[in-house]
Amino acid sequence: MKRFGIITFLALLEFSALFAQYNPYPDKSIFAEKRKQFMEIIGDDAVAIIVANPEYKRNNDVDHDYRQDSDMFYLTGFEEPESIAVLRPGAEKLRYTLFVRKRDKLRETWDGHRFGVKGAMETFGADSAYTIDEFDKMLGGILRGAKTVYHNFGADEELSESILERVSVNAGRSDLSMKNARYELGEMRKIKSDWEVKSLRKAIDITSEAHNEAMKSARPGMGEYEIEAVIEYIYRKHGVQRPGFPSIVAAGSNTTTLHYQTNEMKMKKGDLLLVDIGAEWGYYSADVSRTYPVNGKFSKEQAAIYQIVYDAQEAAFKISRPGTSRKELSDIVRNSVIDGLIKVGLLSGTLEEIIKDRSYKKFYLHGFGHWIGLDVHDPGSYTEDGESVIMRPGMVYTVEPGIYITEDDSVDTKWWNIGVRIEDCVLITEKGYELLSDKSPRKIKKIEKLMRKKGLAQKD
């Protein structure tokens, strides 16, 4: 009896530990809404075959950390590799089928829990489920009656090629075509539901806290990697599984490299530090950038460039509302940057002349922003019916003007190695916009004030 009690206790402990782990979406019905919407878009004569990302070898017998394909997750919430979701809008009953790995006690002892066929139905709401090795022989039945097969090309190239080949073999008719499901799903993903915005808020709040701790911690003589360590500590403290992208922690001349990711240089007095980071929460990624002086005080030239970038952001915020086009946002940011660069003498001529000869591109190298969501650069077209996309409630995007001045004989040396990017996340609401990343300071005086405090790196 005593032995039975111990075994029961250990079993319960194992069960409770399993379900006490990171689980941001205990209610899986939220994914059913996405499936319903997607099936309405593709129509009753279509079938969708959405596959998981494969596992990737890092070295020898070590894999890279696994992350599910964003579209697969969007429709299912299912995070395991070697899985396929089949959606058949025209089916009477079995509209949603999952193919998954079978339960395997030995492999689960080594690698962790698998949901298996039973879990695919009970936990993830599949109408039917089978082991992944049954997919190939069932493909012919899956395709029966379909005119279009939608597939998320790019997730697993080897599997996609196999599906393409099998579609050709099994179809046996000329009216069956394949389409990339990425387009329809990308357009769906442009408008975020309430639960998606909730996940983005959390990711952005954690990222903002990481920025604030990084600002307080930065000191001359520290390595960029030490600031990265502070950032990732904040992530893990909040239970973040992974960054949404590799952190950019760039000091001095590195601030002028847009996607610098080495993060190994020692920071010097007089350097700016450009930090572009994003925590991922529930698969949704933040993307927030801050730039500040390592010694806590902007120089005259650094402050001048910073203010130009800040003013360009503010110009975009003022017109961020339903009905504003992406082109209007892009134009107002570009024009604000050009006006600022003219005032400090880095550009000469009129606004119109500079736009025409594109001389501003020497310092302003990228667009004003991008969609964010399940991917840090979320899919979704920037045009609709040949025109610039119009902002609508539920759209979330970044506003991230940047000015980058490298060592260049045509520019006064006082401007050299000044790279400034400020990036914030904007949600379009019914009445206007909400700045989601306002918990980390952007104004010069507020940044300098925060930097006078001790950060995690200075605490005993």
pLDDT tens sequence across 154-203: 999 999 998 888 888 766 666 788 999 999 999 999 999 999 999 999 99
Structure confidence by residue, pLDDT tens digits, 28-72:
999 999 999 999 999 999 999 999 999 999 999 999 999 999 999
**Domain architecture of the chain: domains with CATH:** 23-189 (3.40.350.10), 194-458 (3.90.230.10)
pLDDT at 409: 84
What is the tens place of the pLDDT at every residue in 374-419?
Answer: 999 999 999 999 999 999 999 999 999 999 999 998 999 999 999 9
The residue among 19 and 74 whose pLDDT is bigger is 74
Please list, in sequence order, all residues whose beta carbon lies within 8 angstroms of the beta carbon of residue 165, skipping any fewer than 6 positions away. none
pLDDT of 173 reads: 60
Query: How confident is the prediction for the chain on average, in pLDDT?
Result: 94
- The torsion defined by the Cα of 166, 168, 170 and 171, in degrees rounded to 10, comes to 150
pLDDT value at position 8?
40
Residues with a catalytic annotation lie at 61, 259, 276, 287, 366, 370, 377, 400, 404, 421, 423
C-alpha distances in angstroms, 354 versus 105, 256, 328? 67, 22, 18
C-alpha 84/C-alpha 68 separation (Å) is: 11
For residues 401 and 309, what is the distance between their CA atoms, to the nearest angstrom? 6
Confidence of residue 21 (pLDDT cuts 50, 70, 90): low
Identity at 446, one-letter amino acid code: K
Rounded to an integer, the average pLDDT of 78-104 is 97
317-336 pLDDT, tens per residue?
999 999 999 999 999 999 99
CA gap 61, 79 in Å, rounded: 21
- CA terminus-to-terminus distance, the chain: 51
Tokens read off for 124: 């993830």
Q: What percent of the chain has pLDDT over 70?
A: 94
Please say if the pLDDT value at position 12 is more than 90: no
| Coil vs helix vs strand at 433 | strand
The three-state secondary structure class of 23 is coil
Residue 22: band (very low, low, confident or very high) from pLDDT cuts 50, 70, 90:
confident
Using the Cα atoms of residue 284, residue 290, residue 294 and residue 295 in order, give the sign of their dihedral: negative
